[in-house]
Structure 1
């Protein structure tokens, strides 16, 4: 653990964990669409509540050190160094 992780306020950690769990529960949708903040069939606005819940979940995960946005960057880090040698051109 780094020093910055040790100095997190307990209250903020509890709030972030609760927000993450509630957003995950909202996205899992155990009510099968019976209880929605914004109904999905509203044109133009129907999926904003799910987008907000997903953003909240990503933020909560990043707060605890799990940055899943790296999945979407497309760049891969390699530890291999290029080998210098003779290059044969055809």
Structure 2
């Protein structure tokens, strides 16, 4: 049941991101300064979290992955 809810959240956020400015679904208008793009940022965060739930760690494209963090934790620097 949880996987189905996560899949639905992923599909809704993907549909929202495919057509963010068409006006048929727009929670915050994009022309509002500073907060106009928060709805797209939220949809992106939900989509990335859903992908991670299903085992696709897309965060490695934006920075370090968990494997790299674990490697750094194992290194002890002694002077």
State TM-score, norm by structure 1: 0.66
Output the CA distance in 2 between the equivalents of 1:31 and 1:61. 24
Query: For this pair of structures, how many residues does the alignment match?
Result: 66
- Matched with 2:15 is 25
**Cα RMSD over matched residues?**
2.1
Q: CA deviation at 1:44?
A: 1.3
Q: 1:63 aligns with which of 53, 64, 67?
A: 53
Q: Which runs of 5+ in 1 are unaligned?
A: 1-10, 78-90
Task: Please point out which of 38, 50, 54 is paired with 1:48.
Answer: 38
Q: Which runs of 5+ in 2 are unaligned?
A: 69-79
Q: Deviations over 1:50-90 (max 9, x none)?
A: 00000000000000000100112268x8xxxxxxxxxxxxx
Q: 1:49 & 1:30 partners in 2: Cα distance? A: 9
Q: Which has the higher helix share?
A: 2
SS, match of residue 31 in structure 2: coil
Change (3 A) 1:74 1:30: closer
Deviation, structure 1 residue 12: 0.6
Instruction: Give, in whole Å, the separation in 1 of the partners of 2:45 and 2:20.
Output: 19
Q: TM-score, length-normalised on structure 2?
A: 0.74
